[in-house]
Structures are given as structure tokens and as C-alpha cells.
Structure 1
């Protein structure tokens, strides 16, 4: 098989992986210029695969081993020797848009941390995790959109951190089931909330109080980041607004169940999701 055929096959695999997941990242790609969709798929395939290695491996030890191998493949790719898998089209994207390795390293660092660190003492600790687990994706996409600069990077960080935090507050119960607690320990102690209570069927008042405060704080991340939409090309502004409003809609879903996240997982309906995409496409967000 020729090298060009191998590249085309690997690109198809990245595209199939991306389009098989119903997530904002993939839906957002529909709003992109056609020539940028494959680079977005290549980046998504890297992020999705790393996330799956971290969360779907049989044990933390095996996850760390697999992530280490994945890190080695990333190093080889930036050194000009990509393996014939998702890294082959990713190498094309790296070269085309002069991407640097640090954001990719940061993502893998966060995924490895999830295998060994399951509690966060303070909000500062949690924000450091967000800096590596979420913010790098926004910075990579800004490079692809050719509008990366210190101000835009900072605004993107606000939105990405907001998305990560909103996901934490939405998934308190799910995370607890797999042994992770992202609520800062000092806040839980302040309100007399124990880890054990996170396994209850109904949400204690103390947890509702914490979540109400955290949702208000998280909303301000989106508000601070939304001006990014005015500083990037119009085609990319639609995606920026979609991500930010998607996060705000998640916060609304949490509030709509009165913060009772242990009884029911707050969800954004598919109708609401499609509405957001349509409004983004039409420039109505």
C-alpha cells in the first residue's frame, strides 16, 4: 500500500472515530470550512483516544502503561516519525499549522493524573488540573484557526475551564462511582459534607449549597470568555459561541433540577442541543 493510501486510510479512521461520538466538539466541526474539518477530526481522534485509554482501561496501572506508550508515539510524531495510525494524519496537521507539542503533553499529563489523584484539596488544585485537561484543546484549535495570541489564548482558557467545571458539577454522582471527587475538599469540609454522602440517592443540602456557588462561579468563566467570539474569524466565532452556550446550558440544566445531581443527572436534551447548533449556524447565539 502506498504511503498516500496509508495516510488516506488513517484519515478515514480519524473521521470515523470523530463522527461516531455525539459531542459538542464533533457537532462544532459541521460549522467549519470544509478544508478544516479533517484537521479537527485528527485533533479530536488524539483527544478521544487518550481519554479512552485513561477511562476505559481495566486498571489505573494498565491505563498508565497505555498512556506512556501513547506519549512515546506523540514524541515520535513531533520528531518526524509518526506511527501509521492516528498520528500519521495528526503529523500532517502539526506541520500544516505549526503546532507545538506542549498542549498535547499537558493533556496526557492530566489523563495520567486521573489514575493517581482522585481528590482535590483546594480550588487552585482543581484549576491546575483544568489548565492541563481542558485549556490545551482551545489553544490548539486557536492555532488551527490561525488566531492564537496571548489575549485570545486567555479568553479561550476561560471557556475551556468553564466547560470542564460544568462537567464536574453535572457528573458528581458518576465521578464518585468510579472513585473520583472533583469537589474541593476544603469546601466540603467547610459545609460538613463527607465523601460517603456523595453516594446517596438524594442530594444533601450542603452539596446543593456548594453546587449553587460553583455554578455561579463557573457561569462567570463563560461570561469572561465569550468576547473571544468578537476577536476571531466569523466561521470560528460560531464554534466559540456554541461551546460557551453549551456550557451555560449545562449549568441551566443543573439549576433546573434544583442542584439535585445525585438523584438525577442533569441533561441537555437533544432538541436543545440541535437548537443550539442551528442557532450557532445562523448566527443567532
Structure 2
């Protein structure tokens, strides 16, 4: 029997996605790797390398990092993939400057340098390879500088603010650290830059950021001394000391703390779900070509949130993550949904399957 050409095209898409997002060599996938990269393209060494080489650099960077959702996939229109890669590379570098240096004062200086590089780019004089590529993207799509500045401000905030008192303060942080990314994606896709679409995008991006925080409770505290769970929600005596000892020994200091921490993370997850569900309305307002890209982001975050539930909210010990097979399934689901109905589909909490996890 002859294979359906459309089916073959689908599997080529899926195969390309799996290859691109997992088989590229990471440019800097840990702190040591990033410091090496900083030595090549840092404040004292960076120089223009030419537009074509800069675009290729961003492609490799986008392909080499693990994320909760597939960053560059064949669901992205072919003529936009390099633009997605350049925006991603900007975010990746800023994130690593904030998280992988190990010294808040040095990170602050480097982030200020990154902001100077951003301004040079928007003045038409890019120096760093990322900004050489981004210069092409921002001109092509008439991107404003403000979303990029907000992202840098969020990483600067991380250098001196490691605790949050209230849920609303945490949401305000997400307005800087997450919402600008969604707005940039909408601009790249040619979607509206205001109105209901942007409101839904902000909810989704805030939900994705919160999900990442509650997924990374262990790592944020052990590696960066950060706690993104607001203190108004923490009713556990000696929480930080008991959390530190639990992480150090690899099991809870006592059963009471284990149950209390589960309840705490459950509270955070329950506060996050409505943002995904409300934001998912965006799929009803997007152009058909944009829906699979946005759905992929949404489903990736929802599956992580569902996996936190499947792990019984024990993210003080475990870090849930998406496997290659799960990512492949998400891409296929997004493509099929866009082809046959294209909109929201089944409510978020019903359709999310259990997700594989790993030790933190």
C-alpha cells in the first residue's frame, strides 16, 4: 500500500524536530561551558562575525539547550525560524549571565554590558554575534526595544531579590521575566500587539514561568539560594533549614515536612492552572499558521504542571521534565490539532497526560 504523502510529510516534520532539538551540540549547557563561551564573546573579546555566521551561531544555540518546550521546530514557519532563534539566543545569553556566573555583583556588571549591547543593536551598530542576528530580526519585524529591556531587568532583579513576600509580587516579577517573551513571539508571528490576544499571552507566559519555578524548587534553592514560593504561602516552621537538609540528604527530614511541602507545592500548582486555562483562549484568536506554535508552548507547560501532580508535588526532591518521546508526542498533537480543528480542543487539565520525571 502506498504511503500517504501528507503522513510522510508529518513524520519528516517530527523527525526534524526531534533531531534539531536534541542532537545539536550545545554551545554552553552548563556553567563551565558558558564561561568558556563568555571568554570568546564577552565584554573584552566580542566582535562582529558577519550576519550569516551570527545567524548560524543562534541556530546552534537554540538547538543545543533543553527546555520544557521545543524552542525551534518545524511547526514554526520556515521563514521565521532564524528570527525565533535570534530572540531565543538573546534570552539564553541573558539568562546565563544572570544564573551561571556564581557572583551576583559580576552578573550585574555583565547584564549591564548586555544592555549596552542591546542599545548598540537598536542603534544599528551590533557587536556581539547574537545582536548581529537580532538586528536583522528586529528590523524585519519592527520589534520595539522595551520587551528586551524588561527581560534584562528581570535578570538584574534576580541578583538581589531572592525571596518574594506575596503572590502578587511574584506575578509582578513574571511581567518582566516571562510576559515579554510571549509578546515577542506574537510579533514574530505577525499577530496583534494589543488587546485580548496579548492578555491571553501574558497569562500563558506567567503560567509557564510559575510552572518552571515550582518544577525547580530544589535546584533554585540548592544552586542559587532562591525561593520563588511567596513567604505568605509558607506556613512551615523552619522551612529553609528543613528544605536545605532535605536537599542535602536526598530525602525528607521528617514525614511531617514532606507532607507540608507537598501541600505547599499543591497550593502553588492550583493557583497556576487557571492561568493556563484562561490563557488558552488565545488559540481561538490566532491565525491558523500561528496556532500550532503557541499550542506547543502551552502543552509543554501544562504537561510539566501535570507531572508535578503525578510526582505527588514532591519537587523539593524531584525535577519533572519532558522526555524526547513526550516532546515528539506534543509536536504531533499540535500539528494534528492545527490540521483538524486548530483551536483549543479538550480542557487543559483533562488532556494533559502523565509526564516522565527525574531526580532534581
Shorter-chain TM range is over 0.9
The equivalent of 2:323 in structure 1 is 269
Query: Would you say the 8 A contact 1:28–1:242 is kept in 2?
Result: no
1:31 has 2:85 as partner: no
Give the alignment partner of residue 197 of structure 1, picking from 230, 234, 242: 242
| Alignment gaps of 5+ in structure 2 | 1-47, 339-344, 346-360
After superposition, the C-alpha distances for 1:103-125 in whole angstroms (9 at most, x for unaligned) are 10000000011111110000111
- SS state of the match for residue 235, structure 1? coil
The equivalent of 1:120 in structure 2 is 164
Give structure 1 regions of 4+ aligned residues with deviation exceeding 6 angstroms: none
Give how far 1:225 is off: 0.6
In structure 2, C-alpha distance between the alignment counterparts of 1:140 and 1:27, rounded to whole Å:
14
Aligned counterparts, 1:8-157, within 5 A: 8-24=52-68, 26-148=70-192, 149-157=194-202
Query: Would you say the 8 A contact 2:178–2:209 is kept in 1?
Result: yes
Query: Would you say the 8 A contact 2:164–2:228 is kept in 1?
Result: yes
The equivalent of 1:162 in structure 2 is 207
- Change beyond 3 A, Cα 1:265–1:26: closer
* Of 274-283 and 107-116, the range deviating more from structure 2: 274-283
In structure 2, C-alpha distance between the alignment counterparts of 1:29 and 1:120, rounded to whole Å:
35
Query: Would you say the 8 A contact 2:215–2:308 is kept in 1?
Result: yes
After superposition, the C-alpha distances for 1:103-148 in whole angstroms (9 at most, x for unaligned) are 1000000001111111000011111111100110000111111112
The equivalent of 2:229 in structure 1 is 183
CA RMSD of superposed structures (Å): 1.8
Give the alignment partner of residue 289 of structure 2, picking from 229, 235, 250: 235
Give how far 1:247 is off: 1.2
Count of residue pairs brought into register by the alignment: 281
In structure 1, C-alpha distance between the alignment counterparts of 2:113 and 2:302, rounded to whole Å:
36
* Of 15-24 and 40-49, the range deviating more from structure 2: 15-24
In structure 2, C-alpha distance between the alignment counterparts of 1:130 and 1:197, rounded to whole Å:
27
TM-score, normalised to structure 1, is 0.93
| Alignment gaps of 5+ in structure 1 | none
The equivalent of 1:254 in structure 2 is 308
After superposition, the C-alpha distances for 1:247-276 in whole angstroms (9 at most, x for unaligned) are 111111111111112232223333222211
Higher helix share: 1
Give how far 1:38 is off: 0.5
Give how far 1:5 is off: 7.8
- SS state of the match for residue 265, structure 1? strand
Structure whose CA Rg is larger: 2
* Of 104-113 and 271-280, the range deviating more from structure 2: 271-280
- SS state of the match for residue 65, structure 2? coil
Give the alignment partner of residue 173 of structure 1, picking from 215, 218, 230: 218
In structure 1, C-alpha distance between the alignment counterparts of 2:100 and 2:266, rounded to whole Å:
31
Give how far 1:237 is off: 0.6
The equivalent of 1:211 in structure 2 is 265
Give how far 1:22 is off: 3.1
